[in-house]
Structure formats: C-alpha cells, structure tokens
Amino acid sequence: MSRLIKKILADKLSPEELKEVISGFDVIGDIAILKIPDKLLPKKHLIAETLLENVKSIRCVFRQVSPISGEYRLMELEHLAGEDRTYTEYRESGCRFYVDIAKVYFSPRLSGERLRIANLVKDNEVIVNMFAGVGTFSIIIAKKRKMTKHHAIDINPDAYQLILKNAFLNKVEDRVTAYLGDAGRIIEYQLSGCADRVLMPYPEIAIEYFPFAVKALKDEGGTIHVYLHVKSKPIKEVIDEVLPKLDFGKKFVLEDIGGRVVREVGPKIDQIVLDIKLKALKN
C-alpha cells in the first residue's frame, strides 16, 4: 500500500513531505487514517481527496488529531473526505473483524505479531488475553488452533461488545469467552490459575499488571507475552532492565525469556515483546 500511496501523491508533495505522510498512514477496512504534521495541514484535504479518488478500496479518510490516550486508548479524529463513518470491517489472517476506530483501540500494524503468537500456540492451551480490544489476538488463534480455549478481557464496553460480535462472525464463540471489566479484578475473582499462556498487549500498564498475569497461570507455569514501549536499544539490554521490575510471585521461577522488536512507534522508540516462560518453584 505504501508504494501505491507514494505513486499517487508523488506530484502533490515533495519527497520529504511524502515520507512523513507515508509513515503515519494506516488502512483499517475501507477507512484510511492519516497523521499529518502541522506544516502539511494546509494540504490535508488535497491529500485525502487524492487518496479517495485513486485507491478504490478506501471510502473514508480521517486525520488523527491527538495521540492515543486514556484508559480506552482512543484518539481524536477529524473527517477529511469520503463517507463520514468510523465503523468498518477489517480482514486479517482469514478472519473478519468489526471495528469502530472512534470507540476502540485497534492497530493493523500488529498483524505479523498476532500471527507469530498464533503459530506458537499448541492444541489444548487455555489463553488469557488481558487487554483484548476487539478480540483480534484471541479470535485469530482460536481460528487457527481449534483445540484451544480463550478468555478475552477488556474494560471498554464497546470493545467487549465487538469481541462478542467478532467471535460469532468468525464462528469461534464456543471457544472465545468475553469479559467486561478490569483485567486484574477479573483474573483475581474468575480466572486465577487457569492459563497456559497470557497476552498483555497494553504497553503502558503491562509491568503494573504483570502480577495478575502470573496469577492467571496454571500451577505448573506457562508463558506470558509482555508488550512494552522502550527506547531503541539491543533487546538484551531491554531484558536486563525490565527483569528486575517483574514479580514472579512465590510459586514460579524464570525458565526462559526472549524478546523482539515488534515495530517502531516513535523516534528511537520501539514496541517490543518479551516472551517469558515461568515454571513451578520446587519446594
């Protein structure tokens, strides 16, 4: 898509301007979301209309006005061109998802990571997704690994409703159970000791909620995938800095840890994932 956008806008923008637009461009279903720097704001409608006219799959164009923020991780949007709606259908890894970009957090840039996790999962695993959004991780894994059970939690009521709809849409409602509320409380009172694997795709609060992820694991242990935003540096240095901040509780010890950069999220800022495997502490 980025090559197509470059070609379309080549005679409208300078190479420097074009680079900035491409880096802040996402397509979710038939909706395009642009990050447009202040110096390009006078050209925002020109950019949007050009995209709409030349990319037939795009029917709505919005500008991201504010950074993602708040408990629900939402962004302020400005409609620039095309249909004025924020609801769309997005496809990934053979699954379909209803998404409302104004009401829920969603990133198409995690598609590769979602597939990576799905390929790690084995049959008969029980997986807790503490910050499930519209259910993307859980549903893709459930579709790929039919002998798995998923607990998908989100505190945002709109996300919770979309998990239910998307699970039904993809015919995995028998394997994906949705929960509305704070992930820590739900694990504490409903999901303690049930999981082989825990997903924590909320970088801003992952370390704070890590003890709840540990509490969700079965007595024999399991794997926790922790997503964080860190300054760009070798992954070994990140592991050395993060490990002392993680509380494994009294039941588990570290068996193995690995990590990788998922994507760049800002100048010299990366989103990384740590794959942490814990085992039962021998008495």
Residue-wise pLDDT tens digits, 113-123: 999 999 999 99
Q: 283 pLDDT exceeds 70?
A: no
Angle CA 204–208–209, to nearest 5: 100
Q: Calculate mean pLDDT across residues 263-274.
A: 93
d(CA 51, CA 58): 8
- List strands edge to edge, sheet with 31-34: 25-28, 31-34, 60-64, 77-82
Q: Calculate mean pLDDT across residues 1-30.
A: 78
**Any idea where the domains of the chain sit in the sequence?**
2-85, 104-280
Residues of the chain above pLDDT 90, percent: 82
pLDDT at 22: 64
Q: Calculate mean pLDDT across residues 233-241.
A: 96
Q: How confident is the model at residue 263 (pLDDT cuts 50, 70, 90)?
A: very high
Q: What CATH number was assigned to the domain covering residues 104-280?
A: 3.40.50.150
Q: Calculate mean pLDDT across residues 128-152.
A: 97
Q: 11 pLDDT exceeds 90?
A: no
CATH superfamily of 2-85: Met-10+ protein-like domains (3.30.300.110)
Nearest CA among 45, 164, 60, 137 for reference residue 102: 60
The pair of structure tokens assigned to 77 is 């949007």
The pair of structure tokens assigned to 52 is 């709409």
Give start and end residues of each alpha helix (H) in 172-275: 183-186, 206-216, 235-242
Residues 6+ apart with CB under 8 A from 71: 155, 156
pLDDT at 16: 78
Helix 2-9 / helix 15-23 crossing angle, nearest 10 deg: 150
The pair of structure tokens assigned to 229 is 């935003």
Please check whether residue 80 is in contact with residue 48, taking contact to mean a CB–CB distance below 8 angstroms: yes
d(CA 111, CA 137): 9
The pair of structure tokens assigned to 108 is 């198409």
d(CA 102, CA 153): 19
